[in-house]
Amino acid sequence: MSPAAQLRSLAREHVAVAALTIPRLVRHRVWRDVNPHEGAGLGVVLVPGFGASDLSLTFTTTWLRDRGYLPTGASTGFTVGCTSELVDRVEQRLAEHAEATGGPVVLIGQSRGGGLARVAAARRPDLVCGLVMMGSPVLDPMGAHPQVLLAAKALAQLSRVGVPGLMSTDCLSGDCFEDNVRAAAEPLPPELPAVSIYSKSDGIVPWRLCLDPSADCVEVHSTHTGMALDPDVYRALRPRLAEWAAQRYDLRATG
């Protein structure tokens, strides 16, 4: 891809462009068709992407809550810290929410958050009844758009001069990086259902990096930043989430 094409692709990923898709989502049947009993109180932990906070998944949180799920944020801040520390935080939040809701929960992560969620799920499959990764480069965490990698390297340099709470250079190329890449590549337990959502229109993450061999890979047609605002994402998730809730609470006999 030429530099000009890369810039055009990156421009489509601006949050203002993603926001333009909100009216389409809220008019869509998958948003308006509400069933408050569908989730049966199943817990869900949401992990935001690189540079994003829990607020970036507000629409996902609202959609889940309206259907009877109990969603909560992973409390990873802007998800720019050390990978190992962020995975530990996701795992802790996972354990807390599983205890609060009375059993295994669903993990949903966008972009980097999906990779963090995958490692946490592999560590504690006993606490997870389903995993969703949206635009997550699990096959190569360093395969994102060059501009994103530049931002990550800039944060690592700030960490070197003493700015706290950021990823270090070790997270990009050292032992920490190698350990987490190895953990992210481990096969998931066969009893743990997983979904990886990808888009060939993704201007941040090459779609092939999302093709997790341990997951059911589903194609949508959104941008990377707009993935959580795409009706097709919710159309793909709804039957899977409902099945996970039914399996946990044995609701299949009653529909």
Within the chain, strands assigned E span 43-47, 70-73, 105-110, 128-134, 194-199, 216-220
- Helix axis angle for 112-123 and 83-101, nearest 10°, is 60
Whether 251 is covered by a domain: the verdict is no
User: What is the percent of the chain with per-residue pLDDT over 70, rounded to a whole number?
Assistant: 80
Whether 90 is covered by a domain: the verdict is yes
Whether 253 is covered by a domain: the verdict is no
pLDDT at residue 145 greater than cutoff 80: no
Q: pTM for this structure?
A: 0.86
Q: Which domain, by its residues, includes 87? A: 3-225+232-246
Whether 65 is covered by a domain: the verdict is yes
Whether 88 is covered by a domain: the verdict is yes
Whether 185 is covered by a domain: the verdict is yes
Q: How does pLDDT run across 12-67, given as a tens digit for each residue?
A: 777 778 888 899 999 999 999 999 999 999 999 999 998 888 999 999 999 999 99
Are 164 and 78 spatial neighbours (Cβ–Cβ below 8 Å)? no
Total count of domains within the chain: 1
Whether 252 is covered by a domain: the verdict is no
Per-residue pLDDT band for 149 (boundaries 50, 70, 90) equals low
- The mean of the pLDDT values for the chain is 85
Task: Look at residue 107 and give its three-state secondary structure.
Answer: strand
Whether 119 is covered by a domain: the verdict is yes
Distance CA 130, CA 125 (A): 9
Are 137 and 122 spatial neighbours (Cβ–Cβ below 8 Å)? no
Q: Check which CATH number belongs to the domain holding 32 and give it.
A: 3.40.50.1820
